[in-house]
């Protein structure tokens, strides 16, 4: 009888998440669905901390199964969890995310609409976030609504039939697997719906410049690969072009420094610095104008520059 009632499988990939996994699982105990209407599948990627110990404490309050698949990309963890899932709906949630109480109910209702392939949302930031998170990520879930190009895999809900039809996540990708997955869903004729009502709170939102740089650089790891594979559709085009542009500016700055030392001329250095800063300023101007948050103009400009630097650095490590 439980299998008949069970409709949704929540799949959580995890590795060394002892600080957050308890909060994540606790948010699922507060769902407004009956406990036998959904299952939770935690797929562990070789954790060496207390992740599994903390998770096992929820086996009484959740219909929880714990699987292990070490030394693979997160896309493989999600696929492995999906392979053993019993629900007709697959809800992917990251271990450092908190789901709102109506997360599964609302997502299921949106998926039932004609032509919808994926439902999700860009992340909410924690209430105690610092200026980096507030300036860059604050309110993004409210902007990315309706029919959009992709949603992050940490808050991605899809029917089992659609997931199987497009072949699941690409296990060769370390990052950008969500963008690439959504691209295939769209190519199959379905829409990707962003709904702020199903936005989860991302406890892992970068709060410092250093963390922001590392996060963007890591996310860019497979950005160029996805862009080249989906070249006709120009998937991921804007951040890739911005990375190349930043790299050209950095070459110009290096040349300008050398020219200044050897010839005491600063024209190339000044021009290259302006070329690096001006697009970030213009992009930031558009963003704060849209958000009506003018006090963030300079912080967002700085973050755009750091974003470009991180993406440019990822290009240098590109492995086709």
pLDDT tens for the chain, 320 residues: list them: 345 578 999 999 999 999 999 999 999 999 999 989 999 999 999 999 999 999 999 999 999 999 999 999 999 999 999 999 999 999 999 999 999 999 999 999 999 999 999 999 999 999 999 999 999 999 999 999 999 999 999 999 999 999 999 999 999 999 999 999 999 999 999 999 999 999 999 999 999 999 999 999 998 888 777 777 766 655 667 888 999 999 999 999 999 999 999 998 899 999 999 999 999 999 999 999 999 999 999 999 999 999 999 999 998 875 55
Q: Which of 150, 163, 20 is nearest to 91 (CA)?
A: 163
Q: Tokens 């958000």 map to which residue?
A: 291
Same domain assignment for residues 79 and 142? yes
> Residue 194: inside a domain, yes or no?
yes
Q: Which of 195, 107, 103, 196 is nearest to 158 (CA)?
A: 107
Same domain assignment for residues 143 and 292? no
> Residue 100: inside a domain, yes or no?
yes
Judging by beta carbons within 10 Å of its beta carbon (0-12, 13-18, 19+), is residue 246 exposed, middle or buried? buried
- Assess contact for 196 and 157: CB atoms under 8 A: no
The total number of structural domains in the chain stands at 2
Q: Which domain holds residue 280?
A: 237-316
Instruction: Give the CA distances from residue 45 to residues 155, 231, 235, in Å, rounded to whole numbers and listed in that order.
Output: 19, 32, 29
Same domain assignment for residues 57 and 144? yes
Same domain assignment for residues 196 and 243? no
Same domain assignment for residues 17 and 95? yes
Same domain assignment for residues 89 and 170? yes
Q: CA 220, CA 216: separation in Å to the nearest integer?
A: 6
Strands (E), the chain: 8-14, 38-44, 64-68, 89-93, 97-98, 116-120, 146-148, 155-159, 191-194, 201-202
> Residue 97: inside a domain, yes or no?
yes
Same domain assignment for residues 21 and 159? yes
Same domain assignment for residues 42 and 115? yes
The CATH number for 15's domain is 3.90.550.10
> Residue 222: inside a domain, yes or no?
no
**pLDDT tens for each residue of 26-74:** 999 999 999 899 999 999 999 999 999 999 999 999 999 999 999 999 9
248: helix, strand or coil = helix
Q: CA 305, CA 45: separation in Å to the nearest integer?
A: 34
Q: How far apart are the first and last CA of the chain?
A: 49
Same domain assignment for residues 49 and 169? yes
**pLDDT tens for each residue of 131-151:** 999 999 999 999 999 999 999
> Residue 159: inside a domain, yes or no?
yes
Instruction: Give the CA distances from residue 52 to residues 47, 76, 95, 229, 256, in Å, rounded to whole numbers and listed in that order.
Output: 8, 19, 12, 37, 53
Same domain assignment for residues 249 and 203? no
pTM of the model: 0.92
Same domain assignment for residues 203 and 241? no
> Residue 113: inside a domain, yes or no?
yes
């Amino acid at each position: 009888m439980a299998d008949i009632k069970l409709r949704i499988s929540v799949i959580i990939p995890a590795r060394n998440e002892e600080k957050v996994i308890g909060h994540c699982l606790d948010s699922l105990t507060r769902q407004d669905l009956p406990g036998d209407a959904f299952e939770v599948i935690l797929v562990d990627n070789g954790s060496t901390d207390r992740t599994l110990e903390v998770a096992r404490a929820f086996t009484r309050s959740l219909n929880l199964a714990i699987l292990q698949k070490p030394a693979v990309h997160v896309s493989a963890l999600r696929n492995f969890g999906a392979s053993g899932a019993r629900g007709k709906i697959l809800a992917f949630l990251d271990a450092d995310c908190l789901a709102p109480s109506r997360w599964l109910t609302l997502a299921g209702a949106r998926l039932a609409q004609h032509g919808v392939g994926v439902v999700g949302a860009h992340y909410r930031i924690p209430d105690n976030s610092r200026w980096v998170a507030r300036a860059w990520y604050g309110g993004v879930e409210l902007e990315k609504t309706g029919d959009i190009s992709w949603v992050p895999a940490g808050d991605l809900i899809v029917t089992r039939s659609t997931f199987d039809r497009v072949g699941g996540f690409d296990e060769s990708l370390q990052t950008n697997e969500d963008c690439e997955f959504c691209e295939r869903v769209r190519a199959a004729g379905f829409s990707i719906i962003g709904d702020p009502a199903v936005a989860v709170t991302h406890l892992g939102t970068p709060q410092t410049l250093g963390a922001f740089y590392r996060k963007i650089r890591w996310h860019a790891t497979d950005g160029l690969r996805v862009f080249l594979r989906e070249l006709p559709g120009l998937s991921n085009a804007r951040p890739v072009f911005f990375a190349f542009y930043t790299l050209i500016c950095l070459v110009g700055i290096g040349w300008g420094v050398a020219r200044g030392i050897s010839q005491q001329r600063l024209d190339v250095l000044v021009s290259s610095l302006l070329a690096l800063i001006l697009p970030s300023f213009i992009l930031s101007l558009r963003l704060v104008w849209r958000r009506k948050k003018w006090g963030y103009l300079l912080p967002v400009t700085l973050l755009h520059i750091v974003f470009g630097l991180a993406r440019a650095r990822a290009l240098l490590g590109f492995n086709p």
